[in-house]
Amino acid sequence: MEGFAIFFAGVDIGSTMTKVVILDKDRGIRARVIGPTGAEHRRLANRVMEEALKKAALSFDEISYVVATGYGRINVPFADRQITELSCHAKGVASFFPNVRTALDIGGQDAKGLKIRNGELVDFVMNDKCAAGTGRFLEVLADTLGLRVEELGSISAKSKNRVRISNTCTVFVQVEVVTRLSEGVPLEDIVAGVHDAIASRAVNMLRRLKIEPDVVFTGGVAKNIGVVKAVKEHLGYDVLVPEEPLLSGAIGAALIGQELTLKAMAKGESLPRKERRLEEASFFS
Amino acid sequence: MAYFMGIDIGSGTSKGVIIKDGKPLAYHLLPSGVNYKETAERLRKELLAKAGLSPKDIAYIMATGHGAESIPFSNDQVTDIRCCARGINSIFPSVRTVIDIQGMSSQVIRLNEKGRVINFVVTERCAAGSGRFLEIMANVLRIDLKDIGPLSLKSKNPVTFTAGCAVFGESEAISRVSEGASKEDILAGVHKALASKVATLVERVSLEMDCAISGGGALNVGLVKSVEEELGIQLLVSPQPQFVTALGAAVMAENRHKGISET
């Protein structure tokens, strides 16, 4: 494979969304696929990989190395290696923003804070025990208000007088939000209040790492402009958000795959690889 | 003849009790709804009707609970913690620890032989520690709340809930259902999860026997059994457990009227 255009795949099976990227040897994104995770991780992993290969117009044999990450990483049967999402996120984030020192990642069911020095993960904090402060919190809220989660950010931008949310627990906030609505509080003020609550929780978590700029915000929740704004307010300075905040884990995984491959090549070795075969390759729903 | 009324406006349901010489004559329960004032008025009317009394027969009315301030006709109000301790003391004088599991919170109270509060802890920030968790789970499994206790007792292999969050617990339950876990095993797991939260509260006030359980949660035999297993003790289950706090309010009303000191 040496000397040819070699490709690296990163598969990130998160609790809510599954992300795949294929990078070329110059770290350019050749293909990306994002889809909901659902219950059947294995079948899904095969399917999204197949889709990514199709988009990239590559055969599976042309992929030099596949790294799986995320909480469903053990369910990627074709991955050459599994690596924790913390290492992959750190690598991905540092590839977008080399000066990053603190990274916040809020996904569907967890929130993580990463301390990064010279592109490497040195410490982290995490909440995956409580829905408050995760993407799930916003989903429950959107559902309660009869909105799509994608709409929340622009709605909150209209707020002039955001409400103060007094509860922490998602279940109780749901009740609080309904009460506020029945009192006639404008929708945008409620949504802005909820964004403020999630941001305050996230920044408090980050403080345990001692926050230093540059601060980068990734994960699905970073797509919500209202939460990004609230995080900036709580931090007191700017926050960088990559163009594709969902992909930092998958990109990091592919980059780690590339590093491992190059290291092995430099020593004249080659890394053990899985058979390049997808199960149920014909499956498409 | 002097009668006394205790009204407990909770976040989920409102309860009222009329007593005479410390003995309950009438109980009534209503959903609290959004208008606490209206709810309190209705509760009083229906309680009086049940007891066959008119408003002037009631010498003193004590209000308590989340919405106590909204009761226009009460003579005074006290905290639900004090009322719960006083109520359980009038039912079981030997009780020194009471576990009160309500819709939106759980509390554990240590009390002395007079029914005065020595110490207490409340979980009110997390639904996983309250009856709300059970409601969510009953809803997911489409089972009536009153049936989940008996059903859970049939479990042979309780499911373990890992998250300790009601929202994540809901997803976990759905995943377990799709994997084929039985409803009884899921419910037994839910009770165990809530019981373990309750047990940490009990540890914080340091358990002293006898220990009683009250609140709506005490109506659930599966939960009571799980709490007993978790703590390794036998609980006294209050009769009319949802009314313990309202009863305590009524007892305090009577004492207040008779000039009996509360400190």
Residue at B171: amino acid letter? S
Distance CA(A141)–CA(A137), nearest Å, equals 6
Would the pLDDT of B198 be above 60? yes
Q: What is the pLDDT along chain A (285 residues), one digit of tens a residue?
A: 444 558 999 999 988 889 999 999 899 999 999 988 876 777 788 888 999 999 999 999 999 999 999 988 988 889 999 999 999 999 999 999 999 999 999 998 889 999 999 988 999 999 888 888 899 999 999 998 889 999 999 999 999 999 998 888 898 888 888 888 888 899 999 999 999 999 999 999 999 998 999 999 999 999 999 999 999 999 998 999 999 899 999 999 999 999 999 999 888 888 888 888 887 644 444
- pLDDT, residue A153, reads 94
Counting Cβ atoms within 10 Å, is residue A263 exposed (0-12), middle (13-18) or buried (19+)?
exposed
A vs B: CB pairs below 8 A: 47
Report d(CA A259, CA A64) in Å as an integer.
Answer: 11
Query: Parallel, antiparallel, or unpaired for β A63-69 and A7-13?
Result: parallel
pLDDT of residue B49: 94
Q: What is the pLDDT of residue B160?
A: 87
Question: Which of A140, A169, A175, A176 to probe by mutation at the B interface, max B CB count within 10 Å?
Answer: A169
Query: Are A131 and A44 found together in one domain?
Result: no
Of A131, A167, A175, the CB nearest to B165: A131
In total, how many domains does chain A have? 2
Q: Which helix (DSSP H) or strand (DSSP E) does residue B177 occupy?
A: helix B166-178
Check CB contact under 8 Å for A136 and B127: no
Q: Rounded CA gap, A235 and A270, in Å?
A: 45
Dihedrals φ, ψ of B134, to 5°? -65, -40
Cα A201 to Cα A80, B118, B158: the distances in Å are 37, 33, 33
Same structural domain, B176 and B231:
yes
Quick one: pLDDT at residue A68? Answer: 96
Q: Are residues B154 and B207 in the same domain?
A: yes
A179 and A197 assigned to the same domain: yes
- Beta strands (DSSP E) in chain B are 3-9, 13-20, 23-31, 58-64, 76-77, 97-101, 106-111, 117-123, 211-214, 236-237
In a domain, A62, yes or no: yes
Contacts of B164 in chain A (CB under 8 A): 129-130
Q: Which of B103, B100, B112 is nearest to B198 (CA)?
A: B100
B96-150 residue pLDDT tens: 999 999 888 889 999 999 889 999 998 867 888 888 888 888 888 888 888 988 8
* Structural domain contains residue A279: no
Q: What is the pLDDT of residue A129?
A: 83
Is residue A172 in some structural domain?
yes
- Asked if B112 and B64 sit in the same domain, the reply is no
In a domain, A1, yes or no: no
The total of structural domains in chain B comes to 2
Q: Are residues B113 and B229 located together in one domain of the fold?
A: yes
What does the H/E/C string look like for chain A? CCCCCCEEEEEEECCCEEEEEEECCCCCEEEEEEEECCCCHHHHHHHHHHHHHHHHCCCHHHEEEEEEECCCHHHCCCCCEECCHHHHHHHHHHHHCCCCCEEEEECCCCEEEEEEECCEEEEEEEECCCCCCCHHHHHHHHHHHCCCHHHHHHHHCCCCCCCCCCCCCHHHHHHHHHHHHHCCCCHHHHHHHHHHHHHHHHHHHHHCCCCCCCEEEECHHHHCHHHHHHHHHHHCCCCECCCCHHHHHHHHHHHHHHHHHHHHHHCCCCCCCCCCCCCCCCCCC
Residue A208 belongs to a domain with what CATH number? 3.30.420.40
Q: Are residues B36 and B156 in the same domain?
A: no
Domain co-membership, A56 together with A146: no
- Chain A interface, best mutation among B105, B168, B200, by max A CB count within 10 A: B168
Would A278 be classed as within a structural domain?
Answer: no
Torsion (CA) B119, B125, B127, B128 in degrees, nearest 10: -70
Most confident segment among A28-42, B178-192, B200-214, B248-262: B200-214
Contact residues on chain A for B166, CB-CB shorter than 8 A: 131, 169-171
Residues B111, B181 within the same domain: yes
User: Is residue B51 located within the same domain as residue B110?
Assistant: no
A39 vs B104, B167, B178: nearest CB: B178
Residues A82 and A214 in one domain: no
A166 part of contact set with chain B, CB < 8 Å: no
Is A14 in the same domain as A59? yes
- Which pLDDT score, from 0 to 100, does residue A269 have? 85
Asked whether residue A171 falls in the same domain as residue A188, the answer is yes
In a domain, A223, yes or no: yes
Please check whether residues A108 and A208 belong to one and the same domain. yes
pLDDT the model gives residue A283:
46
Same domain membership, residue A148 and residue A236: yes
The confidence score (pLDDT) of residue A4 equals: 52
Q: Using CB atoms, pick whichever of A131, A136, A168 lies closest to residue B125.
A: A168
Q: Name the residue range of residue A208's domain.
A: 100-241
**Structure tokens, A153:** 């950010």
Residue-wise pLDDT for B22-56, tens only, equals 889 999 999 888 788 888 999 999 999 998 999 99
Q: Does B61 have pLDDT greater than 90? A: yes
Q: Provide the token pair at A47.
A: 């399917």
**Same-domain pairing of B130 and B227:** yes
Same domain membership, residue B155 and residue B56: no
Is A283 within a domain? no
Query: Do A166 and A233 have their domain in common?
Result: yes
Q: Quick check: B10 pLDDT over 90?
A: no
What's the mean pLDDT in B185-203?
90
Task: Pick the residue of A15, A171, A173 with the most B CBs within 10 A to test the interface with B by mutation.
Answer: A171
Contact A39 B175 (CB under 8 A): yes
Same-domain pairing of A222 and A157? yes
β-strand pairing of B76-77 with B58-64: parallel
Do B118 and B182 share a domain, yes or no?
Answer: yes
B219, B144: one domain: yes
Q: Do B126 and A168 touch (CB under 8 A)?
A: yes
pLDDT above 80: residue B263: no
Q: Which of B263, B251, B253, B244 is nearest to B76 (CA)?
A: B253
End-to-end CA distance of chain B: 26
The two structure tokens encoding residue B63 = 């209000």
Full domain range(s) for residue B40: 1-91+242-263
Q: Which residues pair with residue A11 across a beta bridge?
A: A20, A68
Q: Which two tokens stand for residue B31?
A: 């959903």
pTM above 0.90, yes or no: no
Q: What is the pLDDT of residue B130?
A: 84
Query: Same domain, yes or no, for A50 and A121?
Result: no
CB contact under 8 Å between B167 and A172, yes or no, is: no
pLDDT-based confidence at B4, cuts 50/70/90?
very high
Q: Are residues A139 and A217 in the same domain?
A: yes
Residue scoring higher pLDDT (B68 or B62)? B62
Determine contact: A183 vs chain B, CB below 8 A.
Answer: no
Q: Residue B88: is its pLDDT beyond 80?
A: yes
Short-list A223, A249, A222, A216, CA closest to A116: A216
CATH number of domain containing B186:
3.30.420.40
What pLDDT was estimated at residue B98?
Answer: 97
pLDDT of res. B177: 82
Amino acid A196: pLDDT: 95
